[in-house]
Amino acid sequence: MYVCLCNAISDKTIRDAVRRYQPQSIQHLRQLVPVGKQCGKCIRATREILDEELQNVPQYKEIA
C-alpha cells in the first residue's frame, strides 16, 4: 500500500528502512526515506508504521 503518494513510498519501504536502520524519530526516518517532503499528509500513517515496527524490533543486550 502506498503511504506517500507524492514520492511513491510504500509501507513496505518504510518497514524495511525501520527494520534495517531502527530510526528513533520521524525526522531520522525522513533522512533515510523521502516521506512527507511535499504535502505532508502521509506523516501520521508513517509515524504509526514507525512505532509499530519499532515495537517488533528485537532488543539486543550488550555483552561486556
| Domain range annotation of the chain | 2-54
Q: What is the spatial distance between Cα 54 and Cα 48, in angstroms, rounded to a whole number?
A: 10
Hey, what CATH topology would domain 2-54 get?
Arc Repressor Mutant, subunit A (1.10.10)
- Cβ neighbours of residue 28 closer than 8 Å, sequence gap 6 or more: 21
The two beta strands, 9-10 and 2-4, are antiparallel
pLDDT of residue 44: 95
Give buried/exposed letters for 25-46 (b at 16+ CB in 10 A, else e): eeeebeeebebbeeeeebeebb
pLDDT tens across the length of the chain (64 residues): 999 999 999 999 999 999 999 999 999 999 999 999 899 999 999 999 999 999 987 766 555 5
